[in-house]
Chain A
Amino acid sequence: GAVVSQHPSWVICKSGTSVKIECRSLDFQATTMFWYRQFPKQSLMLMATSNEGSKATYEQGVEKDKFLINHASLTLSTLTVTSAHPEDSSFYICSAPVPGSDEQYFGPGTRLTVT
């Protein structure tokens, strides 16, 4: 079946630095990908919709200048957390719908810890 990968699976960074998270669709092309954030023991909240070749669409309350999304190819979307702070520590998960099908696959997630 279709697979979505994320890299890295976990990252620890210092406050004030930027971190890039990659989301790849491994065996299908994804014109759209979604980025979710999950705080410990909480639900997944949609952050933004990543669109190949155009600007991402951000959900209300999500700072676009802080969470930079780039969808430069049909198989790769990146989320960069800029000037990270401890409150950005979270589990970041991407997903990609398979075009022409009912299926959507989630990546394994990236655990970000900002110290």
Chain B
Amino acid sequence: AQKVTQAQTEISVVEKEDVTLDCVYETRDTTYYLFWYKQPPSGELVFLIRRNSFDEQNEISGRYSWNFQKSTSSFNFTITASQVVDSAVYFCALSNYNTDKLIFGTGTRLQVFP
């Protein structure tokens, strides 16, 4: 069975702090994809990243970075120098290589205070 766990339900930080959102996944598949999405208060999901299981290179995009560790089945997301606009719910998700169906984690609500 596939499962995504985001143990942090809510995180509060002050602007300019760095924050890491944890994601741990379970799958029996050898080939799979991992995703992060941002859901601001408007509700619309914003795609942040997709990573396939063969690519363990860490990724950096501006203030965002992702750490994929297959050995611990984790795909953590770090926001550097957080801003108020980063306040949202962040979802980690998993899909099988052969399907585009996404299994979502329970989400982490991030609040960044000025």
Residue ranges of A at the interface with B (Cβ–Cβ < 8 Å):
32, 34, 36, 42-46, 49, 91, 93, 95, 97, 102-109, 111
A106 touches B44 (CB 8 A): yes
Determine if A93 and B50 form an interchain contact, defined as CB atoms under 8 angstroms apart: no
A91's partner among B37, B43, B100, B105 (CB-CB below 8 A) is B43
Chain B residues 38 to 58 lying within 8 A of chain A, measured CB to CB, are 42-45, 47, 50
**B14 lies within 8 A of chain A by Cβ:** no
Q: For A32, what are the chain B residues with a Cβ–Cβ distance below 8 Å?
A: 100
Interface flags, B70-114, vs A, CB<8A=1, else 0:
000000000000000000000100000000111111110000000
**The 4 A-B residue pairs with the shortest CB-CB distance in the complex, in nearest-first order:** A106-B45, A97-B100, A108-B44, A109-B43
Give chain B's interface residues, CB within 8 Å of chain A.
37, 42-45, 47, 50, 91, 100-107
Q: Which residue of A lies closest to B42 (CB)?
A: A108
Which residue of A34, A43, A102, A109 contacts B50 across the interface (Cβ within 8 Å)? A102
Q: DSSP class of A's interface residues: helix, strand, loop or mixed?
A: strand
Residues from chain A with Cβ under 8 Å of B47 in the complex: 103-106
Do A43 and B43 touch across chains, with their CB atoms under 8 A apart? Answer: no
Question: Quick check: B100 and A43 within 8 Å, CB to CB?
Answer: no
A44 and B91 form a contact (CB under 8 A):
yes
A43 to B6: give the CA distance in the assembly, Å: 11
Identity of the chain B residue whose Cβ is nearest the Cβ of A33 in the assembled complex: B100
For B43, the chain A residues whose CB sits under 8 A away are 91, 93, 108-109, 111
- What is the CA–CA distance of A42 and B107 in the complex, to the nearest angstrom? 8
A–B Cβ pairs within 8 angstroms, 9 of them: A32-B100, A43-B91, A43-B104, A43-B106, A44-B104, A95-B45, A95-B100, A104-B100, A111-B43
- Tell me if B107 and A34 are in contact (CB < 8 A): no
Q: Which of B44, B50, B101, B106 contacts A42 (CB 8 A)?
A: B106
